[in-house]
Amino acid sequence: MKLVIVGGGAGGATAAARARRLDEFSEIVLFERGEHVSYAHCGLPYYIGGVIQNRESLLASTPERFRSRYQVDVRIRTEVKRILRDEKTVEVVELDTGKVYRERYDKLILSPGSSPIVPPIDGVNLEGIFTLRNLTDADRVVKFIADNKPKRALVVGAGFIGLELVENLKRLGMEVILVEMLNQVLPTMDPEMTRPIEAELEQNGVNLVLGEQVTAFERRNGKLKTILKSGRTLEVDMVMLCVGVKPNTELALSSGLEIGRSGGIKVNEYLQTSDPDIYAIGDAVETPHFVTGEPMIIPLAGPANRQARIAVDNIYGRNVKYKGTLGTAVVKVFGITAASTGASEKVLRRLGIRYEKCYLHPYDHATYYPGASQMTMKLLFSPEDGRILGAQIVGGNGVDKRIDVMATAILAGMTVEDLTHLELAYAPQFSTAKDAVNMAGYVASNILRNDAPTVHWEELEQLRKSGAVIVDVRTPEEFSLGEAPGAINIPLEELRERLSELPKDKPVCAYCTIGLRGYIATRILVQRGYDTKNLSGGLRMVSLLRTMAEMPQH
């Protein structure tokens, strides 16, 4: 068996190592057009910011190590230009010498990765404007910062890499402007869940510009003049373009391999392309989303590594299916962490998939133990059977732990009721006796059983306009600090004695700060014949959108 692998990133390097573990005698050749293989792409912003000071620690492996440990023939600075499928050979060129030759294969794995999107705007190639995709890019940025001592930086694009770069450029003492064409950061999440992140950016001195596009760059008096679509101009010393990536499908296209409707290389459940002797993995492939079934390109290291292992297993006869991609992701921005898994509400709505949702604000561990911090959780689930469709969490500590549990639950086909039965590790410094995941299951199950009829933040104003009575069940002191428009205040402890103040011929919406007291009030009123709904997530959800202000907590 002769296995040829194109691309030495997360997918290609993992495939090479896995192939050697399965077969000691195969000939394995890995081509990489860049200078490095198996490097930690996700660590690059932190290398730029000086958090990671040892550059070599970003290199998970080297060509020399692959040769000595795995007997893999790694050829860097070598680009595969053509696949001659009928001859089962690839045509390659050595980039430093220009030498062109051909290499035979029995099986071929394509792991070409993706490239940063460079928008076609005037001045985009000026000095001081960078993209960040590999270690060589990061080296250029580090050198520019060392040589030029920039004081003001612009980051274009508020995805994962953009946000991490904002934090790291601030760490270097720069004034940072973040421009995003959408009206929210982190486009993979739903907008209301990104408001705490935006507030965190502003509190840390980041100049956040949402709903704007860069239309041109100019070099003036040693500065980069950035022109926005609105006509506004910004003068900065350097620019980081983080507007997304595109799959590297040129080789597959020129070889006649089928491309999917999302623009990625089309593969079957065994990760075979339209040529059964050629497999494809990583950022350049189209795979089905595990929840929606929609073909998607999800450029994340985790899926690329899993796909590499599965593709190699299938090449060596193990018959393993790839189940699809969840898109589970997490990012830290200054003191806040945001994570998501599964489908977002935006995606479910676009695809016409029925869903229900709930919000809650649990703590990461027992509040009587020092250092407890509050999270905001959003759970999306099927109204028919309670199957979990997606989750998003924003907060301090413990976000990563809960999103991983949610991702596991989705992959296992669990329902919100199943979440209530999970037995999760508990000690006061790690969790609460009813963990945040359990609580999400309780809240969602209450909605499914109609024990807690629910209204959401975006429905509140229309509910008020339709004549519903909005009841704030917090204390008078809390009420005086801010309330929903048109609300009356009847504290929960006084509710049973003041029922006469509420009409039975109109809908009632009860709310508190985070939803717990509103739920208790709803149970009281529903059982007494009132048409009552609880505001999911409480006034905190309204305040996130209206003012981003912190409301009093339970």
- 109, 112, 114, 118: CA torsion to nearest 10: -160
What tokens does 401 get? 């732990």
**Of these residues, 42, 358, 509, 512, which one is catalytic?**
42
Report d(CA 259, CA 286) in Å as an integer.
8
Residue 512: active-site member: no
Report d(CA 80, CA 33) in Å as an integer.
8
**Measuring CA to CA, which residue among 360, 402, 394, 395 is closest to residue 516?**
360
User: Which strands make up the sheet holding 469-472, listed edge to edge?
Assistant: 454-455, 532-535, 508-511, 469-472, 488-489
Map 244-311 to HEC letters: CEEECCHHHHHCCCCECCCCCEECCCCCECCCCCEEECHHHEEEEECCCCCEECCCCHHHHHHHHHHH
Report d(CA 341, CA 138) in Å as an integer.
28
What tokens does 8 get? 């030495």
**Measuring CA to CA, which residue among 190, 181, 185 is closest to residue 159?**
185
**Measuring CA to CA, which residue among 59, 18, 66, 64 is closest to residue 41?**
59
Do strands 278-280 and 107-110 pair parallel, antiparallel, or not at all (unpaired)? parallel
Map 45-101 to HEC letters: HHHHCCCCCCHHHHECCCHHHHHHHHCCEEEECEEEEEEECCCCEEEEEECCCCCEE
Report d(CA 340, CA 402) in Å as an integer.
10
Degrees, nearest 5: CA angle 46-47-48: 90
Handedness of CA 178, 183, 185, 186 (dihedral sign): negative
Report d(CA 293, CA 188) in Å as an integer.
17
The position carrying tokens 């205040």 is 489
User: In this structure, what DSSP letter does residue 474 have?
Assistant: S
What tokens does 539 get? 């006034």
DSSP count for the chain of H helices, then E strands: 16, 31
Is residue 396 within 8 A of residue 196, CB to CB? The reply is: no
Q: Which residues contact 244 (CB under 8 A, 6 or more apart)?
A: 116, 117, 157, 159
Do strands 207-210 and 175-180 pair parallel, antiparallel, or not at all (unpaired)? parallel
What tokens does 47 get? 């290398």
Residue 323: Cβ within 10 Å count: 13
User: Which strands make up the sheet holding 89-94, listed edge to edge?
Assistant: 78-84, 89-94, 100-104
Which sequence positions are flagged as catalytic? Answer: 42
